[in-house]
Amino acid sequence: MDLFTRTVMLTGDPATNMAYATEMRSFVSDKIGQDVALWSALFGAPRGTTTYAARVDGLAGVLAMSTQLLGDADYMSKVAAGAALGGGPVEDNLLQPLHGELGDPPPSGSIATITTAVIGNGAYAEAVAWGVEMAQLVESLAGTPTIFGMNSFGTFGQVTWINVAADAATADAAGNAINSSADYMGRISAVGDLFVPGSGHRSLAVRIA
């Protein structure tokens, strides 16, 4: 099971944006018969960054979902209406988990911390092993599930860690536990040349529907 995400930039009135995004999320969920999560970026991404996320059976699952939607006139009408709210291109991504199970979608109000980095040339095996170990360490320190996976498309060699907390207080406690861990800091310091310098990035998002 992979994680499909569609990220859009909504630059209009915030109330109008959220009403549209929530309606679109509900429509798509009903149309494809499965949960679609709607996330709004809080930090580490331009304001208005909104992401729809769904669990899929690989590329075949994405194409099957797309076929259902693209053949629906109501969906295409909603896409056209949303174009007036957008401030940039739509970006789709597919994440293949290498550690952790996607499981049931997290409830509204959940907080996701997303960390990405790009593996250095020739360091794939070592970087993936390090990434899995770090995901396991974060889980043990924070007590919250962490997915580590490879981005199937986009920047070659990009990997992603996603840690999900039930609410902001739990996310705060998890962050404090991680940042105060000597083991965590030691492993970060010893990462060496496994990843492209300056490629690391962290953002935070809340599930709003």
Q: If 0-12 CB within 10 Å is exposed, 13-18 middle and 19+ buried, where does residue 187 land?
A: middle
Q: 185 in helix, strand or coil?
A: helix
Closest CA to 37 of 1, 4, 83: 4
pLDDT at 87 over 80: no
Give the pLDDT confidence of 166-202 residue by residue, as tens digits. 999 999 999 999 999 999 999 999 899 999 999 999 9
Q: How far apart are CA 103 and CA 37, in angstroms?
A: 13
Architecture of domain 2-95: 2-Layer Sandwich (3.30)
CATH of domain 106-207: 3.30.70.100
pLDDT at 2 over 80: yes
pLDDT of residue 82: 86
- pTM here? 0.94
pLDDT at 134 over 80: yes
Q: How far apart are CA 154 and CA 189, in angstroms?
A: 27
Give the pLDDT confidence of 10-30 residue by residue, as tens digits. 988 889 999 999 999 999 999
Q: How far apart are the first and last CA of the chain?
A: 21
Domain-by-domain residue ranges, the chain? 2-95, 106-207
Same fold, 2-95 and 106-207: yes
